[in-house]
Chains A and B, each alone.
Chain A
Amino acid sequence: KNEVEQSPQNLTAQEGEFITINCSYSVGISALHWLQQHPGGGIVSLFMLSSGKKKHGRLIATINIQEKHSSLHITASHPRDSAVYICAAQSNRDDKIIFGKGTRLHILP
Chain B
Amino acid sequence: DAGVIQSPRHEVTEMGQEVTLRCKPISGHNSLFWYRQTMMRGLELLIYFNNNVPIDDSGMPEDRFSAKMPNASFSTLKIQPSEPRDSAVYFCASRIYLANTGELFFGEGSRLTVL
Contact = CB atoms under 8 A, between A and B. Distances in A.
Interface of A: 30-31, 33, 35, 41-45, 48, 50, 86, 88, 90, 92, 94-102
Given A31-B100, A101-B42, A96 B56 contact: yes
Nearest to B55: A95
B71 interface: no
Contact of B106 (A42, A95, A102): A42
B105 interface: yes
Q: Dominant SS at the A interface?
A: strand
Interface centre among B100, B102, B105 (most CB of A within 10 A): B100
A10 to B, nearest CB: 14
B43 A99 contact: yes
B23 to A, nearest CB: 13
B63 interface: no
Interface centre among A43, A48, A101 (most CB of B within 10 A): A43
A99 B35 CA distance: 10
A30 B105 contact: no
Contacts of B105: 45
B22 to A, nearest CB: 16
A97 B100 contact: no
